[in-house]
Amino acid sequence: MAVRGPRKDSPRLTARGAATRERIVATAADLMFRQGVTATTLDQVVDACGISKSQLYHYFPDKDALITEVIAMRERRMVSSQKPQLDQVRSMRDLERWRDSLVTGHRERDVPYRCPIGSLANELSCYDDARQSLAAIFSRWQGLLADGLVRMRESGELDPGADPAELAVAVIAALQGGYLLAETMQDEQPFLVALDMALDHVKAHVRTPVANLTQPDT
């Protein structure tokens, strides 16, 4: 898991080889996403990928190594899809845009309501290596969000007393819970409700200009 040598997992690797390797990981990631890790067979990966078994074992010593790579790919994908958006966050409005893109993203590609990271985390949390990697991914994700909240605080929109890190954790938790309920109930409503709660929670820490203090309707 730790990076020991200079290049340990690439002892002379052609562009083509790297591509195949990547394809294997992608295929495994997809199968594991849909069926779960334990339920996914190496033979399934081989078949779905259209390669022969010897190729799989040419690139990966065993299933665990493949799983490790799948996790790594999940992190890359999360960052590449989330970072561009979260880096833009400077206001409550931006955060709402982020939420909307999560929702619409699931609507157009009709991928099941399910978090590729959360589902791995649930299944692999009893294996410490994997668990730690997944914890790091969550941290990273949370960090991206927290950075946005920090910017909101610096720009004065967020209350100076608000804790961006803590808010970010809450938002990710809501996201995960929303995914799980939506998936289980096969209904996107819990996902929407959870995300709205999360954003409301952030909004509760938005600096309230006096103008916003309208008279209470009592």
Binding region for a second copy (CB under 8 A) = 34-36, 38-39, 114, 118-119, 121-123, 125-126, 131, 134-135, 138-139, 166, 169-170, 172-178, 180-181, 183-186, 189-190, 193-194, 196-198, 200-201, 204, 208-210, 213, 216, 218
Q: What letters, b where the CB count within 10 A reaches 16 and e where it falls short, cover 20-59? A: bbeebbebbbbbbbeeebeebeeeebbeebebeeebbeeb
Applying the rule CB under 7 A, the residues between 138 and 177 that interact with DNA are none
CB 31 within 8 A of CB 44: yes
Three-class DSSP category at 209: coil
Applying the rule CB under 7 A, the residues between 8 and 37 that interact with DNA are 11-21
Chosen from a second copy, DNA, none, partner binding at 196 (C-beta under 5 to 8 Å by type): a second copy
Nearer of residues 61 and 84 to DNA, judged by Cβ: 61
Instruction: Supply angle C-alpha 33, 97, 34, rounded to 5.
Output: 5
Does 41 bind DNA (CB under 7 A)? Our answer is yes
Nearer of residues 123 and 188 to DNA, judged by Cβ: 123
Kindly indicate which of the ranges 40-48, 80-88, 92-100, 154-162 contains the residues binding DNA, using the contact rule CB under 7 A.
40-48
Chosen from a second copy, DNA, none, partner binding at 143 (C-beta under 5 to 8 Å by type): none
CB 158 within 8 A of CB 205: yes
Chosen from a second copy, DNA, none, partner binding at 185 (C-beta under 5 to 8 Å by type): a second copy
Does 57 bind DNA (CB under 7 A)? Our answer is yes
Long-range contacts of 78-84 (CB under 8 A, 24+ apart): 78/116, 78/117, 78/137, 78/140, 78/141, 79/140, 79/144, 82/141, 82/144, 83/144
Q: What is the phi-psi region of residue 29: left when phi exceeds 0, alpha when psi lies from -120 to 50, beta otherwise?
A: alpha
Does 53 bind DNA (CB under 7 A)? Our answer is yes
- Binding interface with DNA (CB under 7 A): 11-21, 41-43, 50-55, 57-58, 61-64
